[in-house]
Structure 1
Amino acid sequence: MPPPLLLVSLGNPGPRYALTRHNAGHIVLTSLASLIGCSTFSPSPYSPGLSTSTTVEFPPLRPPKRRKLSPDDAAPLPPPPPPQPQQAQWALHQCPTLMNVSGPSILSTYRAWLASPASIPLTASDSFDPFSSTTTTSNTPPPARPRLVILHDSLEDAPGHVRVQPSGATVSARGHNGIKSLLDSIASSTRRAAKGKGPGGGAKAGGGNTGVDFVRINIGIGRPQSSRDPERVAGYVLEDFRQGELEVLRGRTTAEVLSVLKGLK
């Protein structure tokens, strides 16, 4: 069964930054919401910020092959019921904070989403604590583990290119301050938990098993003439996208992100 997803985009708040390269995650998430038929973004039930949600349908699983009849069978087997489409709940959330301090807000949203029966089937979340090194089991196996997915801009990828990192908590932030903030927040949370001040297990600062993992979807914005000069890069990410670049993000890039999300297990 497909997993429930919390999709969180990173960027900077306010109209001044709405179409800047640093807000590529917000731009793609908004286009994705339209593509899959979500309602308009509204104040989030999980934390400050804007959210929307929908139920996404997937093709039905193939039924098992029927056993061939033998002469000893008393009667033909009845036909199997028609396969039903699979479904999963997706919640889309725009992180409301400045990019560089987004970690605490993302973790707060993630915790609230995990606890929300409206967003996650109980069997998928009743025994799952992402901050714990021990997870209890129930009599009913969970159909899928809920997943946190982060969409953000990437200087390391060509404009419009989509790059997926399935285990985002185990790889370097590569200088991305939004991801660095999230990794630092996860590490701090699990350290506090290890000292008995909250849920969870242990963690090492700066990487390794931080107690919760997430999928990173890098949205390429390229570099300014391949420059690594900090001042040039800082100005570049706060420039507005050109119209042609926006069309790519809202079209091909968004469609590719949807394909990636539907392939997550």
Structure 2
Amino acid sequence: MNKIKAAIIEDEIPAGRLLHKMLSGLRPDWEIVVLPGSVEGSVKWFQEHPHPDIIFLDIQLTDGISFTFIEQTQPESMIIFTTAYDEYAIRAFTVNSIDYLLKPINRERLAEAIEKFERLTARYGNANLSSSSNELLNLLKNISNPEKKYRTRFLISGDEKLYTLQVEDIAYFYSENKITFAVTKEGKEHIIDLSLDKLSEQLNPDIFFRTNRQTLISVHAIQKIENYFLGKIIVQVKPPFKDKITVSREKIAAMKLWLNY
């Protein structure tokens, strides 16, 4: 078995040294490197070295938030976040990373996170489990901007007049032939001049979830969830959608977390 390579990116030197000591004690056979606790320094290292198997990544670095590092390096590594943020705010990261560790880091929690990493890599391999950079970027940006204002209405044009459509009246959005439609709770459809990707950024993630490439649904529209083949699930909404709304096996954990808020 190849030796596991781990990188620690931590803006506080004593904290980085302590984490290195704890990791070395728990996994003496790992190859561990402590990188500069800055976006610039860490990006430079990643440009010059193979990506490690796992990164212990502090959210707040000396010269910026860690999403800048992720944006610039697109890491192929699995990620465990280290952070001083409270648990409620940070638990969303468990959807797209292995785990998170609250500071000061507890040795038992570190051991649990390592064991989780080892179970996942043994079962799936790193290639299938490296974090989705785009989703991580969205999560990091949302948490680093907790006062972010989400869209509450749309200006719609039709019948030679303009009118407003309230977000709270929308059951779901869907895309068809590169056109985005909003479907209200009453079943009326309206063309929206935004892609589903843009809508995902502008709508409150506590209310709306991107089930797949075609649909973005409101939690209030869900009527029933059923198992489907190949580990997928089907979501039934009201008013009914003309096609099956499927959620892939990879996104089911994220959806369960979303529904459990």
TM over 0.5: no
Q: TM-score, normalised by structure 1?
A: 0.31
Larger strand proportion of the pair? 2
Q: Which has the higher contact order (CA 8 A, sep 6+)?
A: 1
- Bigger fraction of residues in helix: 2
